[in-house]
Chain A
Amino acid sequence: MLGPGIKRFELDARDIARKALPGQFVVLRIREEGERIPLTIADTRPDDGVIAIVFQEVGKSTKLLGTLEKGDSILDVIGPLGNPSEIEKFGTVVCVAGGVGTPEILPLARALTQAGNKVITILGFRNKDLILMEPEMKAVSSELIVTTDDGSNGTKGFVTDALKQVIERGTKVDRVIAVGPVIMMKMVSKLTEPHAIPTIVSLNPIMLDGTGMCGACRVNVGGETKLACVDGPEFDGHKVDFDLLMQRLKIYLPQEKESLELFKKTCEHQGENDA
């Protein structure tokens, strides 16, 4: 448990651990009736054959995943999928993350630092109780700025406010990488565009197979349709149609609600039986 509704698991997945690079993800299916859900590979320990995932319990599948305990097994783990992040010496890189994007950006920030970049990390949370992984992020960044929407800790405001300050104080920023809620990635991209700072975002559309076979994950980048699972998940933030992405994430809202409610009911039911 990392925070309210946010959990970190380590999975036994030797082949994946050997190959995974920052920015890649896995697709999981928890049980026979389960759906296939994508989750970023948050860390790897190749020698132990272990990968880590961090997830937020938002709906049926992630809540079900959260009920698993140490030693339980997951039916299918497929990966590493997607293209790895571009890691080079860019100069000064600002890593921006919000909420559950934080653990996803950790391996990226680490790799960028190792590649000789100056890494400034900006993390945003709604309030101080939701702050994640501050010490770990500090260890891999030259500078860490934490914001909370309500000012209960760190700087009050959004990550974009902090990024704006960094740019305005005269720091020469060579690249920005943003991982987190779509609206955050959109605002970050909007902010950096007039400054012509290359901005990379990691997109999270609804996925199914994760191998480029179905077209569920299509996104519009620079007027062209791309498949996030094989052409991405990282894209040039200045070219992404974020509004379309936000719309497409809502396709199954009614079904997701139905599924979650059914899940809650069976959980309560089981609780009664256990008692």
Chain B
Amino acid sequence: MPKPSPKRIPMRAQKPEKRRYNFDEVPFGYSPEEAMAEAQRCLQCKKPSCIKGCPVEVDIPGFIGKIAEGDFWEAAKIMKRTNVLPAICGRVCPQEIQCEGSCVLGRKMEPVGIGNLERFIADWEAEQAECVKCEKRPPTGKKVAVVGAGPAGLTVAGDCIKLGHQVTVFEALHKPGGVLAYGIPEFRLPKAIVQREVDFIRSMGVKLVTDEVIGKSRSIEELFGEFDAVFIGTGAGRPWFMGIPGENSLGVYSANEYLTRSNLMKAYLFPKYDTPIVKGKHVAVIGGGNVAMDSARTALRLGAKESMIVYRRSRKELPARAAEIHHAEEEGIVFNFLTLPKRYVADKDGWVREMECLRMRLGEPDASGRRRPIPIEGSEFRIPVDMVIVAIGNSPNPLIPGSTPGLETGKHGNIVADPKTGRTSKKGIFAGGDIVTGTATVILAMGAGRIAANSIDEYLKTGEW
């Protein structure tokens, strides 16, 4: 086998000076030739370390090998065996710490572009007249209710229907997808792709009920009148605020609200769409994760002259995906590292006008292994702003834990579930995704969904808990 080239095939993308004004997807994807060339860099390791880095253990050399041969159909089939949402994972997985982070090539050169290839094969399949059909087991007559149509719930639904059970998904919002629909912006994950994946699951026979808030219109207990098992995948929906003075000023948003207005409600098309949104000119986004990058880049596209990230640690500790940080930098997002907001100052009508911040320095590593930020006394300074987006995280959605007596919850209001089975403290109830772990990743939520689906199947067969 020839030695692989040290650099991966780059993915063509919209130019930064153009894309910062539109909501179209940033990278264009590989052409078949580019994909084959990139696939040929894979060494087809006998003991592939990359698979260990993937939470759902995609057969990476398997599907990449088929791409290298030009057999895209077979590649898609291999992919769909372990991953029902490849078009999404290829775009949003933090590959640099998962599959690609474990690829052997990465020790000496750029790892294989596994995410790019995954995206390629999913998009290729979508363009074909036919799609990969999944084999379904004969009907079992059992019924499974899935609460929440995010990545965790959709995975459970897709897997359980393949296992022969009847599945109904209940979603509180008017659109399925969870964070994929309301949180992650169009320029990073086109909504047509989410729709396509949802349609695929529907085409397998899953029933999807939107506008149904479980815990309000029906309790979990009541679902057992109709269903034999229930999976809870309601996500980490409640936004955190810092609790500092001025945080309720006009123009201070939670990232959830800002992104929901823009993505789910299409406020960027106001007034054609009815939902309004504040269009800040000098925008500060508090936080350093994917949510913060998405917010800052959305603000730019909604007409901000200046959109900045305000993060209390340094660049090295930014938790966002490497690709998003890179894209944000290219687009001209300003990064204020080692900075912590202390309070917001509003004008007489209540609109935010300035934020007072403290400079930080990094101390010893904390429990998370990252160096702890320490405020520098007397370092207060002010930044003029007319809009602030708080993107410091979410806690688990309290609706279901609060309305289901006897369901064990943890310190932060998360549902306690066995990571090996997804079983909760109550018979017949399973849970997974952000509602159990707190905000994590799409692929971890899907991984939890897969585990739960298998253990639901077992429970429905044996009745044993």
- Distance of B294 from chain A, by nearest CB (Å): 15
What 1/0 mask marks residues of chain A from 248 to 275 whose CB sits below 8 Å from any chain B CB? 1011100110110010000000000000
- With both beta carbons as reference points, the residue of chain A lying nearest to B241 in the complex is identified as A225
Cβ contacts under 8 Å, B46 to chain A: none
Is B141 in contact with chain A by the CB < 8 A criterion?
Answer: no
Contacts A211-B399, A230-B398 known; A19 to B174 CB distance under 8 Å?
no
Contact residue among A16, A61, A81, A215 (Cβ-Cβ distance under 8 Å from B239): A215
Main secondary structure on chain B at its contact with chain A? loop
- Distance of A183 from chain B, by nearest CB (Å): 16
Contacts A35-B265, A244-B248 known; A76 to B210 CB distance under 8 Å?
yes
Do B217 and A213 have beta carbons less than 8 Å apart? no
- With both beta carbons as reference points, the residue of chain B lying nearest to A64 in the complex is identified as B274
Cβ contacts under 8 Å, A251 to chain B: 250-251, 278
Is A238 in contact with chain B by the CB < 8 A criterion?
Answer: no
Compute how far the CA of A78 lies from the CA of B213 in the bound complex, rounded to whole angstroms: 7
Compute how far the CA of A61 lies from the CA of B247 in the bound complex, rounded to whole angstroms: 29
Cβ contacts under 8 Å, A248 to chain B: 248, 250, 350
Cβ contacts under 8 Å, B239 to chain A: 213-215
Do B216 and A212 have beta carbons less than 8 Å apart? no
Cβ contacts under 8 Å, B272 to chain A: 33
Cβ contacts under 8 Å, B182 to chain A: 213
B-side interface residues, number (CB < 8 Å): 41
Which of A18, A209, A227, A262 has its CB near the most chain B CB atoms (within 10 A)? A209
Contacts A35-B265, A61-B274, A244-B248 known; A212 to B218 CB distance under 8 Å?
no
Contacts of A111-166 to chain B: CB distance below 8 A: none
Is B421 in contact with chain A by the CB < 8 A criterion?
Answer: no
Contacts A16-B217, A78-B172, A78-B213 known; A213 to B276 CB distance under 8 Å?
no
Do B237 and A213 have beta carbons less than 8 Å apart? yes
Do B237 and A15 have beta carbons less than 8 Å apart? no
Cβ contacts under 8 Å, A213 to chain B: 182, 237-239, 256, 260, 397
Do B250 and A77 have beta carbons less than 8 Å apart? no
Contact residue among B211, B216, B251, B257 (Cβ-Cβ distance under 8 Å from A19): B216
Do A225 and B174 have beta carbons less than 8 Å apart? no
Contacts A247-B349, A259-B276 known; A211 to B213 CB distance under 8 Å?
yes
Compute how far the CA of A218 lies from the CA of B213 in the bound complex, rounded to whole angstroms: 20
- With both beta carbons as reference points, the residue of chain A lying nearest to B402 in the complex is identified as A230
- Distance of B298 from chain A, by nearest CB (Å): 15
Do A244 and B350 have beta carbons less than 8 Å apart? yes
Cβ contacts under 8 Å, B276 to chain A: 35, 252, 255-256, 259
Compute how far the CA of A8 lies from the CA of B237 in the bound complex, rounded to whole angstroms: 33
Contact residue among B217, B254, B274, B397 (Cβ-Cβ distance under 8 Å from A35): B274
- With both beta carbons as reference points, the residue of chain A lying nearest to B219 in the complex is identified as A19
Is B28 in contact with chain A by the CB < 8 A criterion?
Answer: no
- With both beta carbons as reference points, the residue of chain A lying nearest to B276 in the complex is identified as A255
Cβ contacts under 8 Å, A78 to chain B: 172, 174, 211-213
Do A212 and B237 have beta carbons less than 8 Å apart? yes
Is A75 in contact with chain B by the CB < 8 A criterion?
Answer: yes
Contact residue among A75, A79, A258 (Cβ-Cβ distance under 8 Å from B174): A75
Cβ contacts under 8 Å, B397 to chain A: 211-213
Contact residue among A35, A209, A212 (Cβ-Cβ distance under 8 Å from B173): A209
Cβ contacts under 8 Å, B225 to chain A: none
- Distance of A168 from chain B, by nearest CB (Å): 36
- Distance of B277 from chain A, by nearest CB (Å): 8
What 1/0 mask marks residues of chain A from 212 to 239 whose CB sits below 8 Å from any chain B CB? 1111101010000101001000000000
Cβ contacts under 8 Å, B398 to chain A: 212, 230
Q: Report 16 cross-chain contacts, Cβ distance below 8 Å, ordered by A residue.
A: A18-B217, A33-B274, A34-B274, A36-B174, A36-B265, A76-B174, A78-B212, A208-B261, A213-B238, A214-B257, A215-B254, A225-B241, A225-B247, A244-B248, A247-B350, A259-B270
Q: List 5 additional A-B contacts (Cβ < 8 Å) besides A75-B174, A78-B172, A212-B237.
A: A15-B218, A76-B211, A80-B217, A218-B241, A251-B278
Closest 9 CB pairs of A and B: A255-B276, A215-B254, A247-B350, A214-B257, A213-B237, A35-B274, A35-B275, A252-B276, A15-B217
